[in-house]
Every structure is written in C-alpha cells, then in structure tokens.
Amino acid sequence: MRKGLFLALVMVVSVGFISGCQQKAPEEQTMEISAPAEAPAQIQIAQPQEQVQPAQIQIPAPAAIPEIAPEAEKAIGIAREFTPPSEEEIQQALKNAGLYDGEIDGKIGPKTNKAIEEFQAKNNLKVDGKVGRKTWDKMKEYLNMPVAVSPEAGN
C-alpha cells in the first residue's frame, strides 16, 4: 500500500517537474534604435507579449495508512517513529499488569524500575530497566486493561 502511494507521488512530482521545464520562456527583450540625424537616439524596449503561468499540480490527499504490526515493519524494512510513553502511562501499564503497586505519580523510582525489569524478564526482553520501543510495544497492551491483582497484594 505504501509502495503504491509512494510511486504515485513520485509520478505526480515528476510530471509537474517535466511540465515546468517545458514551459515557454518569455521572449528575449529586443532593442530598436532609431537615430535620425537631427534628433538624439531613442531606445525602445519591446515587452514580452504573453505571460506564462506556472503549471498547477493537484496532489490528492493520501488515504488513511493502516496500522502495521511491528514484526511486519521489521520484515519489510519500515522504521516508524517512536514516541516515548509518559511516566504515568508506564506506571499504569505496570499496575494493570500486576507488577507495580505504588501510586501513579509520574515519578520513576525504585519500585517502578523494579517493575519494569520484572516486566522485561517475563516478556523475554532485554532487562535494562529502560522502556524503549520493544518494551513499550509489549507494555502498552496493558495500558487500558483492568488492574490485575498481584499475588503479594492479597496477603
């Protein structure tokens, strides 16, 4: 889908460029000099007769681009921009996953760091305590789920 959209855009831009190159250039200005013996020389400059308008190109608005799974993006070589989650989103997702029992205060402290590392270990991710693209792709699945009850919370 994206490849077709890209090719269509390249074609539209190419046609616009080519048609812009083929526009007729304004005629060169010419000078007519008439100098009667008794009068000083007069110079007249002829103006171009027609005005050339630049080509008008209309590019259709792109259709909505469907969401592509991260695995598919990697397979076809598409890199999407990563927007890091807020600290509150991280804490809420961890709480919903049953790994964090602290307050949702937007402060990443020892409890949150421990929960991030536990989450990474349980999901076969690199355990580094950082919420990067891979960790967040898994973690955001828990963001809007109901809160899970952790086994320690029942005691």
* Model confidence band, residue 26 (pLDDT cutoffs 50, 70, 90): low
Higher pLDDT, 119 or 73: 119
Distance CA 60, CA 85 (A): 33
Write the CA distances from 120 to 11, 68, 153, 154, integer angstroms.
Answer: 45, 23, 21, 23
Write the CA distances from 107 to 91, 114, 140, integer angstroms.
Answer: 9, 13, 18
For 57-116, how does the pLDDT look when each residue is reduced to its tens digit (9 = 90+)? 777 666 665 666 666 666 666 666 888 999 999 999 999 999 999 999 999 999 999 999
